[in-house]
Amino acid sequence: MTDSRNAFSLDAYLADLAPLINLDCGTRTPAGVAKVADIMTEKYEAIGWQVTRHQFAAECGPCLEITNAPGADHYDVMLCGHMDTVFPEGTAAKRPLKIEGNQAFGPGVSDMKSGLLSIWYALKEMDPAQLAKLKVLVCYNCDEEIGSPWSKDWLVEKAKQSGCVLVAEAARPNGDLISARKGNAKYRITFHGKASHAGSALTEGVSAITELAHWVLAINEQVNMTTGTTMNVGVVQGGTGVNVVPDFAEAIVDLRFWSNEEAAAVHDRLTFMANNPFLAGCRVEVDRQTFKPAMRPSGDTEALMALVEAAAKEEGIPFNWLEAGGGSDANFTAAAGVPSLDGFGPMGGGFHSEAEFLLLESIEPRIRLLQRVLGKLAK
């Protein structure tokens, strides 16, 4: 499926990857995300693709809408990736791209700068005759690492104009691709009580921390390991002094789920609890700050999975399908009813940590796999 005129060069690939790694582009560093967008814009325009830049909010970087079919109202496939990382400013200077043996290290090396680059490599080196049969849309967003609050609606709109979505997050270190992802939500729950002196007026106060403690126990009771619905009270704070009945407390809660219906039931339960606090005189506010629906394969997705399996077999690339606990933008596109699969980047792991790595030997085979899949979609 690769144009034989362009033999793959790992050295050239790594030279292209280095500028993407050696700059700070955390979600909250919009100037850095913009630099990534500049690099990728130049690459796509160099191969004749149209690039449209979107700025959805002042506090975030740009998003890129890229296509070989300007003006199309429908695309055969949407390829998706994110340009942001989780790392703060200064990380790139401390940990620039480093090659050790058969691995590369650096911030975002597999999550997911290599995925962004591999999409471009797959398209630029694909047989032009096959590519001419495909209307391809490439969407690179700026805010995936915080749940895509600004780009989500755009991604869903574009996915609905596409026959299927392939996301180039990293394949797992064992080569697995991703057919399903848990949904997730983050809640900020605030508790308002009544302050009083803990010695002389204890009973006149209403402890926000005591109310919070009741909630922690009640939330833990909603965990269902059988169905995979889990909740974790990960951050708590409250109180001003040991001799003061606290009038304020706060909890940040993580929710993960396979069933969107169970997630809705949890949300309803938290709302009920807020309207019926454990302590009289306490007021509770529940704020669902982020929500990402579960990604589950449909019948159309299973047909796409079969196509990918056939492509992998033809390329001699073994893999299994993984149901992942973490989310991606594929959660949104799948929930919109568009067949969506993930993990089409090179193999890697250690995401969101100093140990993040990319397996160099996987880069070229995974580019070939993506090309083979695109070739089958063109038929």
Say which CATH superfamily domain 10-182+295-377 falls into: Zn peptidases (3.40.630.10)
Residue 150 near residue 82 (C-beta atoms within 8 A): no
Which pLDDT score is estimated for 245? 98
Question: In 3-state terms, what secondary structure has residue 264?
Answer: helix
Residue 142 near residue 128 (C-beta atoms within 8 A): no
Instruction: Quickly tell me which residue has 């390991």 as its tokens.
Output: 225
From 84, 169, 211, 247, the catalytic residue: 84
Give the Cα separation of 114 and 356 in Å (integer). Answer: 12
Which pLDDT score is estimated for 6? 61
Query: Low-confidence residues of the chain, pLDDT below 50?
Result: 1-5
pTM for the model:
0.91
From 111, 144, 145, 342, the catalytic residue: 144
Domains of the chain, residue spans:
10-182+295-377, 183-291
Q: Measuring CA to CA, how many Å separate 19 from each of 14, 113, 145, 293?
A: 9, 10, 20, 33
CATH class, domain 183-291, is alpha beta
Question: In 3-state terms, what secondary structure has residue 223?
Answer: coil
Which pLDDT score is estimated for 4? 39
Residue 138 near residue 64 (C-beta atoms within 8 A): yes
Give the Cα separation of 34 and 20 in Å (integer). Answer: 11
Q: Show the tokens assigned to 159.
A: 């996915």
Which pLDDT score is estimated for 191? 99
Helix (H) or strand (E) holding 81: strand 77-82
Backbone angle region of 178, left / alpha / beta, with phi > 0 → left and psi within -120 to 50 → alpha? beta
Instruction: Read off the pLDDT of residues 97-138 as tens digits, 9 standing for 90 and up.
Output: 999 999 999 999 999 999 999 999 999 999 999 999 999 999
The answer to whether residue 84 is catalytic is: yes
Which pLDDT score is estimated for 41? 99
Q: Where are the alpha helices (DSSP H) in the chain?
A: 10-21, 30-46, 91-94, 114-124, 128-131, 152-160, 208-220, 260-275, 299-315, 330-335, 363-377
Give the Cα separation of 285 and 263 in Å (integer). Answer: 18
